Every structure is written in C-alpha cells, then in structure tokens.
Chain A
Amino acid sequence: MIAPEEVRSAVDAAYRDEWGQVVATLIGLTGDWDLAEDCAQDAFAAALATWARDGVPARPGAWLTTTARHQATDRLRRDTTGAAKVRQLAVLKRDPIGPSAEEIPDERLRLIFTCCHPALPFPARVALTLRTLAGLSTGEIAKAFLTPEPTMAQRLVRAKRKIVEAGIPYRVPPAEQLPQRLTAVLAVLYLVFNEGYDDEDGRRALAAEGIHLARVLVRIMPTEPEARGVLALMLLLEARRASRTSDGVLVTLENQDRSQWDRALIAEGLATLDEALAMRRSGPYQVQAAIAACHATAPDAAATDWTQIAALYAELTRLAPSPVVDLNRAVAIAMADGISAGLALVDELAESGKLDGYYLLPATRADLLRRDSRLAEAATAYEEALKLAPTDAERRYLTARLSGL
C-alpha cells in the first residue's frame, strides 16, 4: 500500500504527461474518438485503485494504454453492432505487448494534426486539441473561453462528427502538405497561450496549457524549428507577465520593472530559440521569438536594440505579411531612425484602411506624437484609441497617458 496522496499525485502527473498519448493510441486502434476518451478516463480511474494496491508501475504510460485498450475490447465485446465488431477485430489483432516506445512514432502527432485540420472550424480545432491532447474537461474548456458548457459540448460533438462524416484522415500529413498543416497546428497552440496571456487571472491556466502543448510538439517534432520557435516565443512572453500590469493598469514594455522578469524562463526561452535557429530554417515564430529575445536581453528600455528589432520585423513582413506587423515595424523604425520616419509609416497604414477600428493604430500614433512633443495631436489620437480599446486595463492606461500630456 502507498499513501493515498502519493497515488493521487502519481495519477495526476501521469494524466498531465500521458493523457494525450493514451487517447491518441486508442483513436488509432478503434477509430472512435468518444470510445477513446471514455476508455482513457476508465484507465485513469483504474490507476487510482490499482496503483494504491500494487504500487506505481515503472512505465505508467504503457500501463494506462494497455488498461485503456482492455477497456475498449470489453466495451466493443458488449456492443453487438457490426461496426463495433469490425473495430473489435482491429483492436484484438494488434500485438498486445506492442513495440517499445522508441520504435513507434509518437501517436500524439497524428492526433494533433487531425485536431488542427483546416476543414474544421478554428474554434473547434482549439477545443478538440484541449480536450483530446491536453485532457481538459469540456467544462474547463467552456469556462476558459467564456462559452456556455452545452455550446462547447456541441462544438466538440460536431467536430468529431465531421472528422468521421467528411473522412478527415487520422494521420500525419505527407511531406508536401506538412508546412501548411504545421502552420495550422502552431496557430492553435499560440492562440491557446495568448487567450491566457491577455487575462489577469481567470484564464491563466490557458497560458500554461499553451506552453505545455508547445513542449509536447517540440518533443514529437524534434527536427522542426518552428515548434521550438513557438515554445521560445511563449516562454519569453511568459517571463514578462508579472510586470505587464500594475493594479489593473497596462504597463508598456518601456516602463516595466525588469527585475520582475522571470530569469529562468528567459534563459530557457533563449536556449530554445538558439536550438531552433541552429536548424537554419527561418519561420515567423522564430522571428517573433527573436524580437522577444531582443527585449528580454536589454538591461533597460534605453538599451533596446531597435535597429535589430526593425530588421526582424522586416523579415517577419516577408514571412507572414500583416498590417499589425507593419505597425510594429513602424514603432521599431521610429525608435531606431527617428520619430518622423516611424510616423510616416503609421500614417501610410492609416490611409490604407487595413487597420480601421484597431485601437493600437491610434494608440501607436498618439504615443509617437507624444514623443515628438506634438501634444494636441497626441491628445486627439489618444481619445480616438480610447473609443476602440477592448479591455479595462488598456482603457485605464490610455486615460492615464491622456491626462499626463
């Protein structure tokens, strides 16, 4: 017998590390997503009882997968429909011992690419990844996305139904499709992180979940530099989190208390980025991580290497063009080459209309005008930004700026 709390923490740790792998393997065996989730759930419940009696197995993941597979066989035996019989055969004919973990490609790879298939609506990709790969409950996902639980449950049901009905294959895409499909996977992971990053407390868990999923991706795609790129970016942003707001007011990078930055996360982020860059295949996440690294390594705001950051934004525009990137580049150019050069780019963007309604356009303009001591124009731009700002923290920041002119 082992102490109940010891078993509980072993099962919790296994849940965190092995849930995705167990579900992924069971989907591969049965082709049935609901059955896979149910059997994984059963296996973890069985672990609580059995591990308390027999001790924690040497390879918890293998124990859980075998137990879940037995559950699947039992359930399919009880089910007498034809489809179930066919699947039962598929489960049974597999070698019950199985090859060792090193010989088979990680099952989670097939799972993540299927969850993030572009034929699924984007919110469904996110929900399905969090449910099947990260093991969040439907209730937890619903809460994180401020969505009623029945709506989230329906989203998951529809996504799983589409996988079956539309014939989305359960596999890692072939080489020629891989770059595009990987982009979709990275977008889901980064969104999960960002949803939590922008929140002060309630949805913090999502940022941790995003980092966890990025770590999984690095493990299962060790030669893919963008997997490391997205992880490095998340770590470097996460390192600054504590200093991003003060009493509910947004604190800009320039004014953040850098002593609050998490040095361990920065070190890990930089090391991860270095590993990615060593593979010599650039990508948008690596470039964004490199920009975050410039900020993370500047001892103070004045020492920021804006010339380097402007060059990185130019590279990002080439790799992944977007008006938001252009806006960021304009700021970097203002800081590197002078306010008027940056303002000219911001005005160009404003005229293009591509960022109409985006509060950071007038907010950026206001900030540059303020630095250029054009205070009346700055005030007008801050007022414009205030009308568009989406959160209280941002509104409070803009109000403070406006009254400080």
Chain B
Amino acid sequence: MEQIAADPAHRAYEAELDRRGAGRGGARLRPVADATTVRVRDGEMLVSDGPFAETKDFIGGLDIIECADLDEAIELAARHPYASSGCIEVRPVWE
C-alpha cells in the first residue's frame, strides 16, 4: 500500500482527480484469492471460495461495507436482494 502511495504515476493520477474535483472515493481490492461468493437459492445460503467465474456474468454494482469479520460480510451479502437470483462477491479491501 505504501509503495502505491509513493508511486509517481499513482500520485499524478490522484492529483488530477483532485484538480478536477472528480474523486468520489474508492478502495483497492485485495486479490481474487481472498474473494468469497455468496448465493441464496431456495432460501438456503451457499458460500463458495473465490470470485464468481462465469465469463458471461457482469458486475452490476458495488457496496462498500465495514464488518467485524468475513462471517458478518457473508451474512449481509446473503441479505442483498440480488443474492437470490445472481450472486454477491465479497472482496476485502486494502487498508
């Protein structure tokens, strides 16, 4: 994380965002190996390791949430309305 903060290219990019007042926040995701995918089917929660892999899938949106641990994140993901038709990928961010 410190390396990225010190990287001139990243600094220049962030300076440009600031100059334009365009930045609205963001987060750097941890690698896909740290991802967990949550689905709800017939009322049952299905948790699997890794990101959702189907190439025809697309990301429909994102929420940034703060949780005590992965189990809380999974529980919240399972409550998302889309969990019962699509799936919710839980990805930790670098802090």
Contact = CB atoms under 8 A, between A and B. Distances in A.
Contacts of A161: 33-34
Interface string B51-95: 000000000000000011111011000000000000000101000
Contacts of B49: 118-122, 124
A121 B53 CA distance: 14
B70 A166 contact: yes
A180 interface: yes
A168 B90 CA distance: 12
Contacts of A169: 68-71
B33 A162 contact: yes
Contacts of B73: 167
A169 B44 CA distance: 21
Contacts of A168: 69-71
A101 to B, nearest CB: 27
A167 B70 CA distance: 5
A177 interface: yes
B71 A165 contact: no
A168 B34 CA distance: 10
B30 interface: yes
B47 A118 contact: yes
A177 B71 contact: yes
A119 B45 contact: no
A16 interface: no
Contact of A165 (B34, B67, B74): B34
B24 to A, nearest CB: 25
Main secondary structure of the interface of A (DSSP, over half): loop
Main secondary structure of the interface of B (DSSP, over half): mixed
Interface string B1-41: 00000000000000000000000000000100111100000
A77 interface: no
A115 B12 CA distance: 43
B33 A119 contact: no
A158 interface: yes
A173 interface: yes
Contacts of A166: 30, 34-36, 70, 90, 92
A180 B48 CA distance: 13
Interface string A113-130: 000011111101000000
Contacts of A118: 36, 47-49
Contact of B36 (A119, A173, A177, A180): A119
Interface string A141-174: 0000000000000000010011001111100010
Interface in A175-193: 177, 180
Contacts of A117: 70
Contacts of B68: 167, 169
Contacts of B69: 167-169
A245 B35 CA distance: 43
B34 A162 contact: yes
A328 to B, nearest CB: 24
A180 B70 contact: no
Contacts of B33: 158, 161-162
A173 B71 contact: yes
A161 B33 CA distance: 9
Nearest to A168: B70
Interface in A206-241: none
Contacts of A177: 71
Interface in A62-110: none
A350 B48 CA distance: 29
B64 to A, nearest CB: 15
B48 to A, nearest CB: 7
22 contacts: A117-B70, A118-B36, A119-B36, A119-B47, A119-B49, A120-B49, A121-B50, A122-B49, A124-B49, A162-B33, A165-B30, A165-B34, A166-B70, A168-B69, A168-B70, A168-B71, A169-B69, A169-B71, A173-B71, A177-B71, A180-B44, A180-B45
Interface of A: 117-122, 124, 158, 161-162, 165-169, 173, 177, 180
Lowest 6 CB-CB distances: which A-B pairs, in order? A118-B47, A119-B36, A169-B69, A167-B69, A167-B70, A166-B34
